[in-house]
A and B are shown apart, each in its own frame.
Chain A
């Protein structure tokens, strides 16, 4: 699958992505942030609904991940915990459909543009490349 360029959607909360967005594409590229990952900002990861994650797969994502505040330090108290639960619901649904649950993941990260944020994107990029295109696309590229 060396020629496979995954389509990965990252839903990031306002607080974990604020600095990242300030960096711009140039800054992200410089730090090795994979081009396969498209970031979508949310006011809070707790705002993210299960249907939005599924919609991302419907729209052609091969993998989806969510970045929210550390579990015990969410700016909105429990937003990132709620997001983790919803990611869990999607993982369960993917398993029921006999699709790899690891195509969707939750990360709890500190604010700011730091190596862990880039590492999460790289991990997802690596993981999805290994898995190949999402079977939920039904063969569509």
Chain B
């Protein structure tokens, strides 16, 4: 899922410093699961904006709400529920949600309430780690299911590099060298000969280096 983290309150307060009516808008998708922008976090941010405004000696009317998702046009239409009740939106969805509101509501002012961090999973309660870079051309079948694009500091296609020490990455001893893990895993699963394969120079155009990406499914379009 997409992992996000609430922006510092002061950053958000600066965004809404001249706004009289704010809609804090959560998303019931990924950011609810990672406890960054679901209904519970919306309630907290709405309260903090009110308190912050009080401290500044001004009154702000804060409405809170949430959409099923902010990454589908049909759900963005749900904004009509609060029509005329806000001057600006603080979206607690990932950056996709903020973009979708901006795309679909040309007149609406929308600010990000979270920093969109990465594609990852919950390593343990309250801890999330990056697992996928969304590079558009998976090579996980060659690397034992472990992604060197997302999890190697250098995104090496052939590794490990000389900075791998005792199974740890040179950038930070808390980070596992994913190429060491790939070697270990391939050996455990009887596929260590796969390590002899030299990955060719990669075409990164699918990773965004060729501009914004788009997926079109003819079987689904109408």
Tell me if B50 and A135 are in contact (CB < 8 A). Answer: no
Q: Pick the contact of A96 from B10, B44, B54 — CB < 8 Å?
A: B10
Chain B: interface secondary structure? helix
Q: Are A138 and B54 in contact (CB under 8 A)?
A: yes
- A97, B181: Cα distance in complex, Å: 43
Query: Among residues 25 to 61 in chain B, which have CB atoms less than 8 Å away from a CB atom of chain A?
Result: 40, 43-44, 47-48, 50-58
* A58 and B51 within 8 A (CB): yes
Task: Give the bracket for the number of chain B residues in contact with chain A.
Answer: 10 to 19
Main secondary structure of the interface of A (DSSP, over half): helix
**With an 8 A cutoff between CB atoms, is A126 at the interface?**
no
Q: Number of A interface residues, CB 8 Å?
A: 18
Could you show 17 A-B contacts with beta carbons less than 8 Å apart? A49-B40, A50-B44, A51-B44, A51-B47, A55-B47, A57-B47, A58-B47, A96-B9, A97-B51, A97-B55, A98-B10, A136-B51, A136-B55, A137-B54, A138-B56, A138-B57, A139-B57
- Lowest 7 CB-CB distances: which A-B pairs, in order? A138-B54, A54-B47, A96-B9, A51-B43, A136-B51, A135-B55, A51-B44
Other contacts beyond A55-B47, A97-B9, A138-B57: 19, CB < 8 A? A49-B40, A50-B44, A51-B40, A51-B43, A51-B44, A54-B44, A54-B48, A54-B51, A57-B51, A58-B47, A58-B50, A93-B48, A97-B10, A135-B55, A136-B54, A137-B54, A138-B53, A138-B55, A138-B58
